[in-house]
Chains A and B, each alone.
Chain A
Amino acid sequence: MLDSDNAAFIQTGVSISLAACSGDRMPSMSRGLGCKLIDGGRQIAIFVKRSQSAELLENIRNSGRVANVFNLPSSNRTLQLKGDDAQIRPFDPADLPVIESHLPQFLEEVIPFGMPENMVRALLAYTVDDLVTVVYSPNAAFTQTPGPKAGDPLGTAA
């Protein structure tokens, strides 16, 4: 599903967000603090803050369906992945380095746009006991970089 180029891309200083819907189609979304590939990209782990994601996590528990967007501010390159088997797992402190290395990469991306560093640090601030991991198998990928190819599927859609 995910080629090596896109697999590398989603682990750079991208902005990450994750969405899921309720039974009556009401969506909810949260920012992700980092992304980890499992089993060579067959599965993806996204780290979110439980305190910000009650509705999102409830929706994932009920449906397992997620939409996950990665955007690199400096290039506008944007990728959306989707999955229908998302699960919520406790955060494993062994994954902390993923989050810790994502922040400086993201800062490097947005500071040239004039974003104050303290504001960006506040936006992505967390406590370890508030973290939770969402794991899913991507079964569809779409380029969302603005332009004529926006919305095109990258691989076989589910």
Chain B
Amino acid sequence: MSLRLETIRECLEGIIPGHIATCDRAGMPNLAYLSQVEFIDNEHVALSYQFFNRTRQNVLADSPVRLLLTSHLTAAQYRLTLHYLRTEAAGPLFERMRAKLAGIASHTGMSGIFQLLGADIYRVLSIEQVPGETVPPPPPPVNCLNALRRTVDRLATCSTLECLLEKAVDCLEKEFGIAHLMLLMHDEARGRLYTLASRGYPESGIGSEIPVGAGVIGICARERTPIRIGFANSEYAYGRTVRDGIAADGQGDALETAIPLPGLPDAASQMAVPISVAGRLLGVLYVESATDLHFGYDEEDALVTFAAQLGLAIVHHQQADDLPDEPAASEEAAPAVAGRPLTIRHFAATESVFIDDDYLIKGVAGAILWVLLSDFAERRRTSFTNKGLRVDPRIRLPGVSDNLEARLVLLQRRLDERDAGIRLTKTGRGRFSLAVDHPLQLLES
């Protein structure tokens, strides 16, 4: 095959709809428009199966298949010869196509009519360019490969998880020019994702949660596959799906709703990319834009590669923090402070912590904070280790894959945002200190 499919992927986005031609057993041709062609690899594409129409009847009757695709960038046309292999009606590819189709349906006034019944997988037998006039493509807004290289260089300079996460979102913003984004971590035990960093929203939303399976982000997490949508649509608006999911929640393990999830109310382009290492989902990168078709295959490739690199680095830093290699700092008792006391209220059932009646955090991070502040109040203790927290019977960490270091970053950020005079500072590998500027009054509810 002289032309590689990966070099003409813009033709698959459906901006200029493709055509599919088939032939029935009697030799009568049939021609139809395609909503969607999904790139799988250089030898395979998937077409959306939405209706049992003549095209499908012909395909199932062993018709050879031809596509005519057109680049909206250059006007170049390509004829592809395909051979039908099989149909998938569930799984990552199906969910990727279903999400993309929801955007296309909404954009073309076909919401409720376009429903994906299956992803038809074809082998690409040949690609030929149709002779004809073309125009030079406009320069891309970003050189994704170069942005990726600079990002990877910058991530390599970090020595802590906190630095890594901060650099990661910073690079997405500065190197890739992405204005609205979130980094969410996976809470395996609870089937949730919690926001650990964001850019481009009035409120950071750090600590906000989304259930696995809900909206673009949740489906990306459940299927462990990138989800990319090019047009505004209501079906995958995550705000609504989160609200819908709340009713199903158990009382003791309720979804974090006190902290609103950030997000563009009128997002047109959305992309969520899983961060996975060795088959384990660590989190999700989510980017969005108010303009249509803002993210293409190149951006998807770059972010998938970035997420793979970030995942390995997260695992590295978390493991390093589990093995403190520095001598224990001398246990310095904090000097007494005067002034107005802060009232810290703890609800054991949900591990929620309130500072002066304002909600701060709950769950594992809430339990950790309560233990830290209890030790501080009792013994003026300021120095702590990850290892110590992990064996502390007062904190019920959910097993080995607890993402303890990520939860500490979450807690640190929530405290910094609240600016209530309680701070966590990393003091070495697997070690941190607590600083409290006010007298504390601890109340257990």
Contact = CB atoms under 8 A, between A and B. Distances in A.
Interface of A: 17-21, 23-31, 49, 51-52, 63, 65-69, 71, 76, 78, 80, 82, 84, 113-116, 118-120, 122-123, 125, 142, 144, 146-147, 150-151
Interface string B22-61: 1101011111110100000000000000110110000000
B53 A151 contact: yes
A21 B19 contact: no
Contact of A20 (B29, B53, B113): B29
A43 B343 CA distance: 87
A109 to B, nearest CB: 12
B110 A67 contact: no
A19 B135 contact: no
9 contacts: A19-B19, A19-B66, A21-B28, A52-B132, A69-B33, A120-B75, A123-B77, A123-B133, A144-B33
A19 B31 contact: yes
A26 B64 contact: yes
Interface string B65-88: 110101011110101010000000
Please give me the 10 A-B residue pairs with the lowest Cβ-Cβ distance, nearest first.
A27-B21, A21-B23, A122-B75, A25-B23, A123-B75, A67-B29, A125-B133, A19-B21, A67-B31, A19-B31
A25 B404 CA distance: 61
B108 interface: yes
B160 interface: no
Contacts of A146: 35, 50-51, 110, 113-114
A151 B193 CA distance: 44
A119 B28 contact: no
Contact of A26 (B15, B23, B32, B68): B23
B378 to A, nearest CB: 65
Interface string B135-157: 10000000000000000000000
B100 to A, nearest CB: 16
Interface of B: 15-17, 19, 21-23, 25, 27-33, 35, 50-51, 53-54, 63-66, 68, 70, 72-75, 77, 79, 81, 108-110, 113-114, 130-135, 292
A71 B33 contact: yes
Contact of B31 (A23, A80, A147): A80
Given A17-B19, A52-B131, A67-B21, A29 B31 contact: yes
Contacts of A123: 70, 75, 77, 132-133
Contacts of A113: 15
A19 B29 contact: yes
B30 A67 contact: yes
Contacts of A69: 19, 31-33
A12 B362 CA distance: 62
A82 B28 CA distance: 8
A119 B74 contact: yes
Contacts of A21: 21, 23, 27-29
Given A69-B19, A144-B33, A29 B68 contact: yes
A67 B135 CA distance: 29
Given A17-B68, A84-B28, 18 more contacts: A19-B19, A19-B21, A19-B29, A20-B29, A24-B64, A25-B64, A26-B81, A29-B79, A31-B68, A49-B132, A66-B29, A69-B19, A69-B31, A69-B33, A71-B17, A122-B74, A123-B133, A146-B50
Given A52-B132, A69-B33, A151-B51, A26 B66 contact: yes
A63 B27 contact: yes
A113 B15 CA distance: 9
Contact of B28 (A51, A67, A120): A67
B19 A29 contact: yes
A31 to B, nearest CB: 7
A27 B22 contact: yes
A144 B32 contact: yes
B27 A125 contact: no
A24 B63 CA distance: 9
Contacts of B23: 21, 25-27
Nearest to B138: A116
A92 to B, nearest CB: 22
Given A27-B21, A82-B28, A150-B51, A122 B68 contact: no
Contacts of B30: 19, 27, 67, 80
Contacts of A25: 23, 25, 27, 63-64
Contacts of A125: 132-133
Given A29-B19, A63-B27, A51 B64 contact: no
B416 to A, nearest CB: 42
A119 B114 contact: no
A37 to B, nearest CB: 20
A24 B81 CA distance: 14
Nearest to B19: A17
Contacts of A147: 113
A151 B54 contact: yes
Given A27-B21, A27-B23, A51 B29 contact: no
Candidate in B29, B75, B114, B131 with the most chain A CB atoms within 10 angstroms: B29
B347 to A, nearest CB: 52
Nearest to A65: B28
A17 B31 contact: yes
A91 B21 CA distance: 25
A86 to B, nearest CB: 10
A88 to B, nearest CB: 16
A107 to B, nearest CB: 13
Contacts of A151: 51, 53-54
